Amino acid sequence: MAEKLLSAANVTNAKPKDKVYTLADGGNLYLRVKPSGSKAWVFIYKDAYRKNKMITLGASQDHKLADARKWAEGLRAMLDKDIDPQNERAERKREAVAAQGKTLGALLAGYIGVLKKRGAASASSVENCLQLHIPLQLRNKPAADVTKDDLIEPIRKLVNASKGRTAARLRSYLRTSFELALTAPDDPNAPAEMLGFGLAVNPVDRIKTLPEYNRASERSLSREELAEYQRRIASIKKSPDLRDILRLALLLGGQRFTQLAQAELAKDIDGQPIIVIMDSKGRRQQPRRHVLPLQGEALAIVQARGNRLFGLDATQAEAFTKSISSKISQISKAMIADEITTEPFRGGDIRRTCETHLAAMGFDEGKLARLLSHGLGGVQARHYNKHDYLPENRQILAAWENALSAAPADNVIPLRVAV
Claim: this prediction has a pTM higher than 0.85: no
Task: Decide: 124 and 316 in contact? Cβ < 8 Å.
Answer: no
The answer to whether the beta carbons of residues 253 and 367 sit under 8 Å apart is: no
Given a cut of 90, whether residue 328 has pLDDT beyond it is yes
Report the chain's terminal Cα–Cα distance, integer Å.
90
Mean pLDDT of the chain, nearest integer: 87
Q: What is the pLDDT of residue 22?
A: 93
CA 379 to chain centroid, in Å, comes to 22
Residue 158 has pLDDT above 60, yes or no: yes
Q: How many helices (H) and strands (E) does the chain have?
A: 17, 7
Cα-Cα-Cα-Cα dihedral of 48, 53, 55, 56, to 10°?
170
Average pLDDT for residues 340-361, to the nearest whole number?
Answer: 91
CATH no. of 8-99: 3.30.160.390
On the question of pLDDT at 414 being above 60, the answer is: no
Whether residue 161 has pLDDT greater than 60: yes
**Is residue 2's pLDDT more than 50?**
no
Q: SS3 for 286?
A: coil
Q: Does residue 124 surpass a pLDDT of 80? A: yes
Q: State the Cα–Cα distance between residues 297 and 62, nearest whole angstrom.
A: 75
Class of domain 104-213: mainly alpha
Q: With contact defined as beta carbons under 8 Å apart, do 23 and 31 qualify? A: yes
pLDDT of 386 > 70? The answer is: no
Q: What is the percent of the chain where pLDDT is above 90?
A: 59
Q: Check residue 419 and give its pLDDT.
A: 36
Residue 49 has pLDDT above 50, yes or no: yes
- Mean pLDDT within 346-350: 91
Q: What does the pLDDT look like over 266-321, one tens digit per residue? A: 999 999 999 999 877 655 556 788 999 999 999 999 999 999 999 998 888 888 99
Q: Looking at residue 215, what is its pLDDT?
A: 61
